[in-house]
Chain A
């Protein structure tokens, strides 16, 4: 008989060590993700002078002072900016997701000539960065007299190849064509089938894409900065940039951090609200698995 640990004990030790390593890595990554949020929270509680002294992990007493300063800043209107961003981000998220799902449904559920070309073309568009066409786009919007309007910020976003691609791939895995056929036989028109049968089956994908679209639109600085001049139309990212570029006499970094903190709140709320829908097994039971 061999002396020492049995095979089972050695296996158990190996498993425990592996688990410890895995958990250590996960905890490290978690801290890495949350650290910057914590730092922002700490900085939002420090005055400009305190911030100038350097890095600190200890929260200070100026949180509410910064909040009042930011809220009452005469050069920016935070509630208005947040409302503007909210209108644009919500409209973009809803419309982008709906129309991308509709397009993906068209390509997924119907047979038509040139279907493969349409799919490839949409995917090809995905490869073009928005900055490439930005100048032409701005010129065109100026000619349409659509600068200082939310339309150029919302409507072009509807054509979102990335969202389309995600929806199409999701449909491939969860949307059996028999369910669509069953609805047709049941007397449902094509639009009703999409709205009442297909959309609810895509709920998790819609939630994911709504979050992504909302966050991306909420954070969008490039195009709004080129299009929006009027103070009452400006969005949160523009206002943050404005605060940061304020002249030396008015510059208050505590106020900037407080505004950034306020700016991420709607994104967090959206995530918490929609993440409930990101659940597995929404389509379970539809067809034989």
Chain B
């Protein structure tokens, strides 16, 4: 059993008189929180994470994903015990660990930049934590060799980190973590420093590794492909707040708000200013002469929430837009031949959009400046509130 519970976790970096300036006092009363570089600054300091609540099940693979500065690494470091928790409670296996030292949390962590001990050999790097536990030498040797075998680094055990490539070093860093068989494995953007090819290979390795070591994982990344392929559940974060928690499919198919819709999916979702019309319990979106009825499932959800006719932000993924003889008009800006498909960059209703068209269904690639028409089905249209940016279905 190794569950992790985060209850209303908050992280505030107090002012140290250094880089960040305190908010100016108002003439009367206290201070109003201000936002600078997406971080909330209050009287207490800079708020990096707030209202973070999450229950992680035993052996679950959770991915924290979000743009730089969203608080994902800070959250991970709080779980590791490397950052003090300013508010809230953190439980590992039901035990409150807010003030427990990292070494007593039975966790292991893989860092973005490997963080290997440069003066030690690969073997000693991996054996370091075990020797601190005063395990017998033969047991340490067995565990190190087992981990090295899993990661295919046995032949490098006598080398020092400087004699290894980036990919090999990251394997050693992972080996150093798995050799301890921790309750919770924390990974802070472990693949970010690798080149694209190696990253793909290592991603597959991590999937295999997860099956072998079978423990609870918390994985931080800014790469949505990693998030989608690795996670059982994804936690999308922005400006220190959780935006959505869900399975990769849920997050992709039912984004909670404009941010999640725009962040998850590549190329990013197309957004339009459109009108949502409700007629006798049926919902339609109208976009530049194109009127599409939403799917029955979506209509039921909107009806349940009592959503009325209104101006909305309509979101449709590039792969869900189709070329049509009739529909909304768009002008071709650029077309990118990707092999199996063509990415058409268009301008429609004053907004840029992308359409992915399979090459097989295309007689000719539209030329620059040509007008095309597009449509989409109601099941793939997402309607977001103009005011709050929230998905009106949820």
The residues of A with any CB-CB pair to B shorter than 8 Å are: 111, 113, 115-116, 176, 178-179, 181-189, 192, 197, 200-201, 203, 281-288
**A186 pairs with B103, CB closer than 8 A:** yes
Chain B proximity of A136: nearest CB distance (Å) = 33
Q: Which residues of B contact A201 (CB under 8 A)?
A: 118-119
Interchain CB contact under 8 A, A285 and B102: no
Given A282-B119, A286-B161, verify A185-B107 contact (CB < 8 Å): yes
User: Which residues of the other chain, B, contact A286 by a CB distance below 8 angstroms?
Assistant: 114-118, 161
A285:B164 contact, CB within 8 angstroms:
yes
**Contact present for A288 and B103 (CB under 8 Å):** no
CB of B81 to closest CB in A, whole Å: 8
Q: Across the interface, do A288 and B119 meet the contact criterion of CB distance under 8 Å? A: no
Residue B308 is within 8 A (CB to CB) of chain A in the complex? no
In Å, the complex CA distance between A185 and B117 comes to 13
CA gap between A184 and B103 in the complex, in Å: 6
Contact segment of B126-134, B252-260, B273-281: B126-134
CB distance from B133 to the nearest CB of A (A): 7
Tell me how far the C-beta of A11 lies from the nearest C-beta in chain B, rounded to whole angstroms.
Answer: 37
Q: Across the interface, do A288 and B128 meet the contact criterion of CB distance under 8 Å?
A: no
The answer to whether B129 touches A285, judged by C-beta atoms less than 8 angstroms apart, is no
- B72 within 8 Å of A by Cβ? no
List of A residues within 8 angstroms of B116 by Cβ: 179, 182, 285-287
Taken together as a complex, chains A and B put the C-alpha atoms of A203 and B109 apart, in Å, by: 27
- Is there contact, CB below 8 Å, between B163 and A188? no
B109's contact among A179, A182, A288, by CB below 8 Å, is which? A182
> What bracket does the count of chain B residues touching chain A fall in?
35 or more
A residues in contact with B385, CB < 8 Å: none
Residue B17 lies at the interface, judged by CB distance under 8 Å to chain A? yes
A184 pairs with B102, CB closer than 8 A:
yes
Contact B103 A178 (CB under 8 A): no
Most buried by B among A113, A176, A182: A182
Q: Which of B33-58 contact A (CB under 8 A)?
A: none
Contact indicator B119/A182 (Cβ below 8 Å): no
CB-CB nearest in chain A for B108? A185
Question: Residue B118 contacts which of A115, A183, A285 (CB distance < 8 angstroms)?
Answer: A285
Chain A nearest CB from B353 CB (Å) reads: 37
Chain B 256-299: CB-based contact to A (< 8 A → 1; otherwise 0): 00000000000000000000000000000000000000000000
Task: Give 15 CB contacts A-B under 8 Å.
Answer: A111-B16, A116-B17, A179-B117, A181-B77, A181-B80, A181-B115, A184-B81, A186-B103, A186-B180, A187-B129, A187-B133, A189-B103, A285-B118, A286-B115, A287-B115
Residues of A within 8 A of B193 (CB): 288
> A188 and B103: CB pair below 8 A?
yes
* Cα distance, A181 to B80, chains bound together (Å): 9
- The 5 tightest CB contacts between A and B, nearest first, are A285-B162, A285-B161, A286-B118, A186-B129, A287-B113
Known contacts: A285-B116, A287-B114. The answer to whether A185 contacts B82 by CB under 8 A is yes
**Known contacts A197-B117, A286-B114, A288-B193; is-contact A187 B162 (Cβ 8 Å):** no
Q: Is B203 part of the contact surface with A, judged by Cβ < 8 Å?
A: no
Contact B169 A176 (CB under 8 A): no
Taking CB atoms, residues of chain A closer than 8 Å to B77 are: 181
Within residues 71 to 119 of chain B, which ones have a CB less than 8 A from any CB in chain A?
77, 80-82, 101-103, 107-109, 111-119
How far apart are the CA atoms of A198 and B118 in the complex, in Å? 10
- Complex contact B109–A183 (CB within 8 A): no
Question: Which B residues lie within 8 Å of A192 (CB)?
Answer: 132
Tell me how far the C-beta of A155 lies from the nearest C-beta in chain B, rounded to whole angstroms.
30
Distance in Å: Cβ of A50 to nearest Cβ of chain B: 53
The residue on A at minimum CB distance from B105 is A185
A181 CA to B107 CA, complexed, in Å: 12
With a cutoff of 8 Å between Cβ atoms, the chain B residues found around residue A186 in the complex are: 103, 108, 128-129, 132, 176, 180
Taking the closest CB of chain B, its distance from the CB of A230, in whole angstroms, is: 44
Contacts known (A184-B102, A187-B133); A284 close to B162, Cβ less than 8 A: yes
Q: Which residues of A contact B161 (CB under 8 A)?
A: 284-286
Q: List, in ascending order, chain B residues with CB within 8 A of A284's CB.
A: 118, 161-162
Shortest C-beta distance, A198 to chain B (Å), equals 10
**A111 to B102 alpha-carbon distance, docked (Å):** 17
Tell me, rounded to whole Å, the shortest Cβ–Cβ distance linking B31 to chain A.
20
Partner of A285, one of B17, B18, B101, B160: B160
Give the residues in chain B near A283, CB-CB below 8 Å: 118
Residue in contact with A176 in the complex, picked from B17, B115, B164, CB distance below 8 Å = B115
Q: A182-B109, A185-B82 are in contact. Are A288 and B117 (CB under 8 A)?
A: no
Interface: B166 (CB within 8 A): yes
Contact A182 B18 (CB under 8 A): no
- Provide the bound-state CA to CA distance between A188 and B166, in Å: 25
